[in-house]
């Protein structure tokens, strides 16, 4: 049994949070999106948000923010999902039904009326990002036929369209469709690893091109899922018989890490309810410290304990796999950093913060599952990240909980 501590049930969490809803200044739910409130899918354009979830998020206004590596705007943005979910009956801008919070890892800020800002991002960086989806597609056209020789013509273009995600602030290559093709071959694991290695080399090449154009230090590569090395750098999870491992590499703006985003959201939450920005009115992820310890120290130094809300962090992507030596572990995942900081802030400020994990293995993308109660691939007995509440029923179970939580405000 790998679960490191006894966990609360979702019903226990609901009972704990209901009375706290009466004071919106004292509670902030910070939630990832993909795999949490909607299933993971091979083609992000087929994602769906439930209208009831969108309405529940509106009811929790002032107590709820999103924190995602996806984006609000663009044709693949979550705002398009909100609009499709509501149909023509509601204007989300007028009725304040867009999901508020941070996207693109923290560089894209949005309020519930869909007003978007990118504090700290300059025009030269945006112009370079705009060129990347076409560059990614060209690189895949040159590279993939040698690895998957049966893939040509219309099939090649179809796979490229699935793989290249033209997010304005975080252009991404997603391997899920190509993994399905490799799984039908004679050496699926070896071929999947070659796809992963080739993708990392492709993205590193684009990163070096940015540096050659005077944008050194502007961008980094976010690998998902990942494991962290001894210096906290993201490394791929290589495909194996245990699972497919890394599926995406995102080209992201430097500073776009969820840990920094968490402090931005706390700073804005306090300003909304108390009228002061303890970290400064212009504080954003690009001006924030980059080291985890420095973020924690900044919060401890600048945020008055009386103003710190209770935090509930909700994610789905954490990993833990056996390390190279007996008893060692390689841990990572795009939600691990912000969930760990949230946990540490609870200890520092003596708040009952809650770390919530949703099982996203039931979608179309291969992920470690909670089904056997073992949490293998997610955590380990020595994991410093303690999971307070589990949703083994995945996004369906979490959406039901979220709806009940929002409904409590009407009672």
Span 388-401, pLDDT tens digits? 999 999 999 999 99
Final residue in a domain of this structure, among 225, 253, 281 = 253
Which H or E run includes 202?
A: helix 188-212
Same domain (yes/no): 282, 394: yes
- Which residues, including other chains, have CB under 8 Å from residue 62's CB and lie 6 or more apart? 24, 272, 273
**Stretch among 64-78, 184-198, 264-278, 376-390 having the lowest mean pLDDT:** 184-198
Q: Taking each helix axis from N to C terminus, what angle separates 394-407 and 51-59, rounded to the nearest 10 degrees?
A: 40
**Residues 228, 319: Cα–Cα separation, whole Å:** 10
CATH number, domain containing residue 405: 3.40.50.1000
Same domain (yes/no): 369, 268: yes
Pick the catalytic residue: 16, 43, 166, 396? Answer: 396
Same domain (yes/no): 264, 399: yes
In a domain, 199, yes or no: yes
**Residues 379, 147: Cα–Cα separation, whole Å:** 34
The pLDDT-based confidence of 323 (bands split at 50, 70, 90) is confident
**Residues 375, 234: Cα–Cα separation, whole Å:** 22
What's the token pair of residue 29? Answer: 């739910």
In a domain, 2, yes or no: no
In a domain, 1, yes or no: no
1, pLDDT greater than 70: no
Final residue in a domain of this structure, among 253, 275, 301 = 253
179 in Cβ contact with 244 (< 8 Å) = yes
In a domain, 5, yes or no: no
Only one residue has tokens 């007003």, namely: 115
How much is the pLDDT for 221?
Answer: 96
Q: What does the H/E/C string look like for 28-45?
A: EEEECCECCCECCCCCHH
Same domain (yes/no): 112, 128: no
- Which residues, including other chains, have CB under 8 Å from residue 172's CB and lie 6 or more apart? 164, 165, 248, 249, 250, 251
Same domain (yes/no): 220, 268: no
**Residues 244, 83: Cα–Cα separation, whole Å:** 33
**Cβ–Cβ contacts within 10 Å for residue 354, how many?**
22
What's the token pair of residue 380? Answer: 């380990």
Same domain (yes/no): 266, 397: yes
**Residues 253, 288: Cα–Cα separation, whole Å:** 13
- Which residues, including other chains, have CB under 8 Å from residue 294's CB and lie 6 or more apart? none
Q: What is the mean pLDDT of residues 128-150?
A: 94
In a domain, 364, yes or no: yes
> Which residues in 61-92 are b (16+ Cβ under 10 Å) and which e?
eebbbbbbbbbbbbebbbbbbbbebbeeebeb
CA-wise closest residue to 163 among 116, 188, 195: 195
In a domain, 3, yes or no: no
CA-wise closest residue to 274 among 14, 17, 108, 28: 28
Q: Choose from 241-245, 309-313, 360-364 the range with maximum mean pLDDT.
A: 309-313
Same domain (yes/no): 278, 402: yes
The pLDDT-based confidence of 298 (bands split at 50, 70, 90) is very high
In a domain, 20, yes or no: yes
- SS3 assignment, position 127: helix
What's the token pair of residue 180? Answer: 């399905």
CA-wise closest residue to 25 among 309, 312, 282: 309
Backbone angles phi, psi at 231, to 5 degrees: -105, 10
pLDDT tens digits for range 3-15: 545 689 999 999 9
Task: Output the CA torsion sign for 79, 80, 82, 83.
Answer: positive
Average pLDDT of the residues of the chain: 94
Same domain (yes/no): 272, 375: yes
Query: How many domains are there within the chain?
Result: 2
Eight-state DSSP code of residue 111? -
Same domain (yes/no): 238, 308: no
Would you mind telling me the total number of residues written for the chain in this entry?
411
Q: What is the mean pLDDT of residues 149-158?
A: 90
167 in Cβ contact with 76 (< 8 Å) = yes
Q: What percent of the chain has pLDDT over 90?
A: 83
**Stretch among 141-145, 208-212, 229-233, 407-411 having the lowest mean pLDDT:** 229-233
Same domain (yes/no): 351, 317: yes
- Is 248 designated active site? no
Q: What is the mean pLDDT of residues 187-198?
A: 92
Same domain (yes/no): 224, 314: no
Selected residue with higher pLDDT from 177 and 138: 138
**Residues 255, 106: Cα–Cα separation, whole Å:** 8
Cβ burial, residue 222 (10 Å; 0-12/13-18/19+): buried
Side-chain half-sphere CA neighbours of 288 within 13 A: 32
Same domain (yes/no): 274, 402: yes
253, pLDDT greater than 90: yes
How much is the pLDDT for 411?
Answer: 67
Final residue in a domain of this structure, among 219, 253, 287 = 253
**Residues 373, 359: Cα–Cα separation, whole Å:** 11
CA-wise closest residue to 176 among 15, 294, 40, 10: 40
Which H or E run includes 135?
A: helix 123-147
Domain that holds residue 242: 123-168+171-253
**Residues 365, 47: Cα–Cα separation, whole Å:** 12
């Amino acid at each position: 049994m790998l679960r490191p501590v006894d966990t609360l049930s979702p019903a226990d969490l609901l009972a704990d949070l209901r009375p706290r809803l009466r004071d919106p200044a004292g509670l902030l739910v910070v939630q990832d999106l993909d795999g949490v409130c909607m299933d993971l899918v091979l083609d992000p354009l087929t994602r769906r948000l439930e209208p009831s979830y969108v309405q529940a998020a509106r009811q929790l206004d002032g107590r709820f923010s999103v924190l995602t590596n996806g984006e609000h705007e663009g044709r693949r943005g979550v705002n398009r999902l909100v609009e499709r979910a509501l149909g023509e009956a509601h204007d989300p801008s007028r009725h304040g039904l867009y999901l508020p919070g941070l996207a693109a890892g923290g560089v894209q800020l949005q309020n519930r009326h869909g007003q978007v800002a990118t504090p700290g991002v300059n025009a030269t960086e945006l112009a370079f990002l705009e060129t990347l989806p076409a560059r990614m597609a060209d690189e895949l056209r040159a590279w993939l036929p040698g690895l998957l020789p049966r893939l040509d013509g219309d099939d090649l273009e179809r796979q490229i369209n699935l793989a290249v995600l033209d997010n304005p602030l975080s252009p991404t290559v997603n391997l899920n469709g190509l993994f399905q093709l490799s799984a039908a071959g004679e050496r699926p694991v070896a071929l999947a690893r070659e796809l992963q290695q080739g993708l990392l080399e492709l993205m590193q090449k684009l990163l070096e091109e940015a540096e050659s154009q005077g944008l050194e230090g502007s961008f980094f590569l976010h690998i998902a899922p990942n494991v962290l090395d001894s210096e906290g750098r993201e490394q791929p999870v290589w495909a194996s018989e245990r699972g497919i491992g890394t599926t995406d590499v995102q080209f992201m703006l430097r500073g776009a890490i969820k840990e920094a985003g968490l402090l931005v959201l706390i700073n804005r939450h306090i300003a909304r309810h108390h009228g002061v920005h303890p970290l400064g009115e212009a504080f954003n992820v690009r001006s924030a410290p980059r080291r985890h310890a420095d973020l924690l120290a900044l919060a401890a130094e600048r945020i008055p304990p009386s103003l710190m809300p209770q935090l509930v962090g909700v994610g789905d992507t954490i990993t833990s796999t056996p390390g190279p030596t007996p008893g060692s572990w390689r841990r990572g995942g795009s939600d691990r950093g912000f969930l760990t900081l949230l946990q540490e802030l609870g200890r520092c400020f003596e708040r009952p913060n809650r770390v919530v994990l949703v099982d996203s293995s039931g979608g179309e993308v291969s992920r470690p599952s909670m089904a056997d109660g073992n949490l293998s691939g997610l955590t380990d007995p020595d994991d410093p990240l303690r999971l307070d509440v589990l949703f083994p029923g995945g996004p369906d179970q979490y959406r039901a909980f979220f709806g009940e939580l929002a409904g409590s405000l009407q009672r």
